[in-house]
Chains A and B, each alone.
Chain A
């Protein structure tokens, strides 16, 4: 399977020296650790803001490595080779989304419960936090890929990408943090289901948009 081959190559590149798999994780840990230091030992307040802070930091951390998603391949000529391969550009984009999630979204999801300890998150919030991140971070990678494909030929596109992508990620943060909050407050709402629906749509549709962005830059 060429999709799996490409995803495996990208995971390998991200985890080698110069890759940014661990950078996103380290950024997430550093940024979230600063918040309790800034707010101080107000345990109730920390527990209240935890879902929002953790989600926002997770999204920002995942965005950090997104601008290089297609750019290194574009600059070193690999994208030309991928394009003449057996995969459509849609499948190439999908493989890269999968690899990005495996190297950022998944590690972030695993680290989040430990970070939540620092925030004194009530016990009932852990389940929805981890489930929400597992469900929602694929959408971050997928929607981010659209932005990455559009900013491909801009050399210093690092700041334009978040501007393009962050507004589109608002639903992920709203539903993700909302699910944790409502679980802490002890009532159930459909936030996780809505998050799952949004994420599924994003992962299924984004490769098409990203491929259109790639064609735009590749064929110009």
Chain B
């Protein structure tokens, strides 16, 4: 997989249900940059992230991920293959333990990472065999980040990544973002609070 050089959004119009949520939005993020997207509730932050991930159809406009090789990925489903996703739901099954989660996603995403190592990094090693229904909201978010660090996806899309995390968890996420940018990754995060890392701001109206 070529790593991306730039994410370019051009004249984007997004519709959810029958409601227009985004009117002619354009911006660029280059490799190594973090984009912090802010805006009032309902401004379309989540819709924008879903559109970038290929999970929401574009009404018009384009989103293209230019790769190092010079090729551009414009199809939503292909773009999804480059995405590391932290949505506002964590995608966690109450019946499965953290270790089972990571082992499943490691096999499903065909990535080589070590599940036990990812759990240790996110501070979940003690509860790796506890069914996820007993995890707190913050622990579930940590598990979502453990899934993210399992394999390399160059384009990280976060929806309120810090919302349920404690101070230590927030610092961990900041370090994670900085490290990701230093190796040429791109981060787009929708957030109400300052991320605490060097970032480009985008306010949706």
Contacts and interface: CB of A to CB of B under 8 A. Distances in A.
Interface of A: 2, 5-6, 9, 12-13, 16-19, 72, 75-78, 80-88, 218-220
B56 interface: yes
B93 A13 contact: yes
A77 B95 contact: no
6 contacts: A5-B107, A72-B93, A81-B85, A84-B54, A219-B55, A220-B57
Interface stretch (B37-45, B76-84, B120-128, B166-174): B76-84
Given A12-B96, A86-B110, A220-B16, A80 B104 contact: no
Given A13-B93, A76-B92, A77-B90, A84 B104 contact: no
B108 A2 contact: yes
Given A76-B89, A80-B87, A84-B83, A18 B95 contact: yes
Contact of B93 (A78, A83, A220): A78
A18 B96 CA distance: 11
B92 A85 contact: no
Nearest to B84: A84
A85 B109 contact: yes
Nearest to A77: B89
B53 A84 contact: yes
Interface residues of B, number: 31
B104 A5 contact: yes
B82 to A, nearest CB: 9
A84 B95 contact: no
Given A9-B104, A84-B81, A84-B83, 17 more contacts: A5-B104, A9-B108, A12-B100, A13-B93, A13-B95, A17-B95, A18-B95, A19-B95, A77-B90, A77-B91, A78-B91, A78-B93, A80-B53, A83-B54, A83-B80, A86-B81, A86-B108
A82 B56 CA distance: 14
Interface of B: 16-17, 50, 53-57, 77, 80-81, 83, 85, 87-96, 100, 104-105, 107-110, 147
Contact of B96 (A13, A75, A83, A220): A13
Contacts of B109: 2, 85-86
Nearest to A92: B108
Contacts of B94: 18
Which 7 A-B residue pairs are closest in the complex by CB-CB distance? A77-B89, A84-B80, A77-B91, A16-B95, A5-B107, A219-B57, A78-B91
